[in-house]
Amino acid sequence: MYDFSHPLCNSDQITVPRGVWEQWDRAFTNRTPMFLDVGEQTGVVARVSPAVPSDRLREDSCRIPMWMLSRLGAEVDETWISLKPTTLARAKTIVLRARTEATLVDSPDPVGMLTDALSGADGSPSWACLTEGAELPLACGIFDVMELRQAAGGRMPNACILDCDVDLELVPALDHVVPVSPVVVPVVAPVVAPVAVSVVPVVPVVPVAPGTFVPFSGIGRRLCD
């Protein structure tokens, strides 16, 4: 596996011995095999990078990025991996998902940022091929390759994005939280019960002229008084 400080640590490239690269070059009639199938029916593809003396690479070894090793299910940096030259169709549309929403929110131009990162215009290694479902570690942040589509609209397990126009689509980030709409509670006016009122009949007082007999108007003495 590449060291973390190696420029190809976060790339789509596999470094192979110079002698192996020359054998492939002759087998392909002086046409450099740009891409490799990595592993047996894994769908992972990579770009070839011939070793230079400063790589100090053994003739029976290769170096691959960490994300690719994890994709293959290997947990150590020394294991047997099958490499086979292949050709790739070009993608028309790639769908990416950021691991963190801040990666996109903090950029005034997310599409331009991704274009520079994939093409190497930002100074990082360029990307020439992608694998659906794989991690895409870019200098601007980590993304997931959600879909690769061809011009007819069909899905592709892997594809070339080199020297072609590609439509880029972004889906909500992995940590995106859907905002909850506030619940509006209607205000209902309170119902006031009517108050019961006791009505006491009032007996009108009629004035009586002096000397007029009024029945039952005595003092009201009892027999015991």
- The 10s digit of each residue's pLDDT in 162-189 is 888 899 999 999 988 877 777 777 777 7
Q: Is 35 within a domain?
A: yes
Q: With 0-12 CB in 10 A as exposed, 13-18 as middle and 19+ as buried, what is 25? A: middle
pLDDT of residue 26: 83
**Residue 214 pLDDT > 60:** no
Residues pairing with 86 in the sheet: 35
Q: What is the 3-state secondary structure (H, E, C) of 7-41?
A: CCCCCCEEEECHHHHHHHHHHCCCCCCCEEEECCC
Instruction: From 86, 112, 134, give the residue that closes a domain.
Output: 86
Instruction: From 171, 202, 217, give the residue that closes a domain.
Output: 171
Instruction: From 27, 59, 86, give the residue that closes a domain.
Output: 86
- The 10s digit of each residue's pLDDT in 118-172 is 999 999 999 999 999 999 999 999 999 999 999 888 999 999 998 888 999 999 9
**Cα angle vertex 174, ends 170, 176, to 5°?**
85
Please give the tally of structural domains in the chain.
2
Are 39 and 67 in contact by the 8 Å Cβ rule? The answer is no
Q: Is 220 within a domain?
A: no
Which of 112, 88, 66, 222 has the alpha carbon at shortest distance from 164? Answer: 88
What amino acid occupies position 24?
W
Pairing relationship of beta strands 93-98 and 167-171 according to DSSP bridges: parallel
pLDDT of residue 72: 85
Q: What is the CATH number of the domain that holds 50?
A: 2.40.40.20
Say how far apart CA 214 and CA 99 lie, in whole Å: 106
Looking up tokens 């990162």 gives 117
Q: Is 154 within a domain?
A: yes
- CA dihedral (58, 62, 65, 68) in degrees, to 10, reads -150
pTM for this predicted structure: 0.73
Residues 98 and 155 reside in one and the same domain? yes
Residues 103 and 146 reside in one and the same domain? yes
Ramachandran sector of residue 101 (left: φ over 0; alpha: ψ -120 to 50; beta: rest): alpha
Residues 113 and 59 reside in one and the same domain? no
pLDDT of residue 64: 92
Residues 71 and 107 reside in one and the same domain? no
Which residues are within 8 A (CB) of 64 and not within 5 positions of it... i.e. 6 or more apart? 1, 2, 14, 15, 38, 46, 81
Which residues are within 8 A (CB) of 44 and not within 5 positions of it... i.e. 6 or more apart? 37, 38, 68, 71, 72, 131, 134, 158
Q: What is the CATH number of the domain that holds 103?
A: 3.10.330.10
Owning domain of residue 20: 13-86
- pLDDT band for position 212 (50/70/90)? low
